[in-house]
């Protein structure tokens, strides 16, 4: 099973949702691919209503508490109530632009999982960290945060934890990481997740994935799917990527 997850970031509106919905088949054409779309919070309800049921709607961020004095945050309970099925935690834009640290990312992931949402934890190094030869250490630190949080990866609720390896330098750059770089980091994450959590968590790749490079990314055995930003704003772009994910199963 592969996951192809679109992330609209702070883009889109009901008109785009309508266009998107009209470009999707009523039934899922790929039995081995799960398609998801993370839209801005005000669009979540409309996305659940307008998109076919086989498309999983998700949130771009989530809080760890179910309710409380946390102005501007969104609780996992509310996400469930509007019909969300997954939430992203620790996206590099949250980390770089809004000061979210490893601990917050981990708490957010745990909040999603506790509530029965699929949680996607984003990890990845900056260009400077890669050039300094620290990419593997940075990703280890980000995952260790999850291991050290003392909150078990509560997968017994039926929730699912996915890791998205998203090198910051590849996001929005138009140039994905090379397959050998992706494969090496996926292997590293696989080893770490076995050591920290006793299980190999599925690892997606994100960073300028498009219809043009999806085939070589999915040709990597290690790629359990893709997190797709700009190419997901066009329904045909996301369909092409999902078709490649299914073709190269
Ligand atoms: C992202 O937003 O997570 C992302 C990978 O963006 P892009 O595909 O545009 O690089």
The confidence band for 199, taking pLDDT boundaries of 50, 70 and 90, is confident
Residues 6+ apart with CB under 8 A from 84: 44, 48, 57, 58, 59, 117
With a cut of 80, say whether residue 60 has pLDDT above it.
yes
In this structure, the strands spanning 2-7 and 56-59 are unpaired
Could you give the percent of the chain with pLDDT greater than 90? 88
Task: Decide if pLDDT at 156 tops 60.
Answer: no
On whether the CB atoms of residues 82 and 48 are closer than 8 A, the answer is yes
More confident residue, 37 or 160: 37
pLDDT for the residue 148: 79
In terms of Cα–Cα distance, which of 90, 92, 89 is closest to 168? Answer: 92
Is the predicted pLDDT of residue 158 greater than 70, yes or no?
no
Site residues for ligand 1, CB cut-off 6 Å: 7, 9, 166, 171-172, 206-209, 227-231
Pick from 142-151, 192-201, 227-236: least confident: 142-151
Taking residues 70-91, report their average pLDDT: 97
Residue of 229, 233, 241 with the most ligand 1 atoms within 8 Å of its CB, for mutation: 229
Average pLDDT on 124-138 reads: 98
Band the pLDDT of 150: cuts 50, 70, 90: low
pTM of the predicted structure, to 2 decimals: 0.96
User: How many Å lie between the centroid of ligand 1 and the Cα of residue 229?
Assistant: 3
- State mean pLDDT over 181-199: 93
- Report the residue count for the chain: 249
Given this model, what pLDDT does residue 102 score? 92
pLDDT given for residue 198 in this prediction:
84
Q: Indicate if the pLDDT at residue 196 is higher than 80.
A: yes
Q: Are strands 56-59 and 33-38 parallel, antiparallel or unpaired?
A: parallel
- If you measure from the C-alpha of residue 241 to the centroid of ligand 1, how many angstroms do you get, rounded to a whole number? 13
- Beta-ladder partners of 228: 6
Confidence of residue 129 (pLDDT cuts 50, 70, 90): very high
The answer to whether residue 154 scores a pLDDT higher than 80 is no
Task: Give me the residues paired with residue 20 across strands.
Answer: none
pLDDT value for 157:
58
Query: What pLDDT, in 10s, does the model give residues 83-99?
Result: 999 999 999 999 999 99
Does the pLDDT at position 155 exceed 70?
A: no
Q: Which two tokens stand for residue 195?
A: 């050591």
Q: How far is the CA of 207 from the centre of ligand 1 (A)?
A: 5
Is 166 an annotated catalytic residue?
yes
């Amino acid at each position: 099973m592969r996951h192809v997850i679109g992330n609209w970031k702070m883009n889109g509106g009901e008109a785009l949702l309508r266009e998107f919905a009209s470009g999707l088949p009523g039934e899922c054409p790929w039995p081995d691919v799960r398609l998801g779309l993370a839209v801005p919070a005000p669009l979540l309800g409309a996305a659940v209503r307008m998109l076919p049921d086989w498309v999983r709607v998700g949130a771009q961020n989530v809080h760890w508490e179910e309710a409380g004095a946390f102005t501007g945050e969104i609780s996992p309970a509310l996400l469930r109530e509007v019909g969300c099925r997954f939430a992203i935690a620790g996206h590099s834009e949250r980390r770089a632009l809004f000061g979210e640290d490893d601990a917050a990312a981990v708490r957010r992931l745990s909040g999603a999982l506790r509530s029965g949402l699929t949680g996607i934890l984003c990890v990845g190094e900056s260009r400077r960290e890669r050039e300094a030869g620290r990419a593997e250490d940075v990703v280890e630190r980000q995952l260790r945060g999850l291991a050290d949080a003392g909150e078990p990866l509560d997968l017994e609720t039926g929730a699912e934890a996915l890791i998205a390896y998203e090198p910051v330098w590849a996001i929005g750059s138009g140039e994905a990481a090379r397959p050998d770089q992706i494969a090496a980091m996926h292997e590293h994450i696989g080893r770490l997740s076995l050591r920290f959590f006793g299980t190999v968590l599925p690892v997606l790749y994100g960073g300028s994935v498009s219809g043009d490079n999806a085939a070589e990314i999915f040709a990597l055995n290690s790629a359990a799917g893709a997190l797709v930003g700009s190419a997901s704003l066009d329904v045909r772009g996301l369909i092409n990527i999902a078709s490649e994910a299914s073709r190269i199963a």
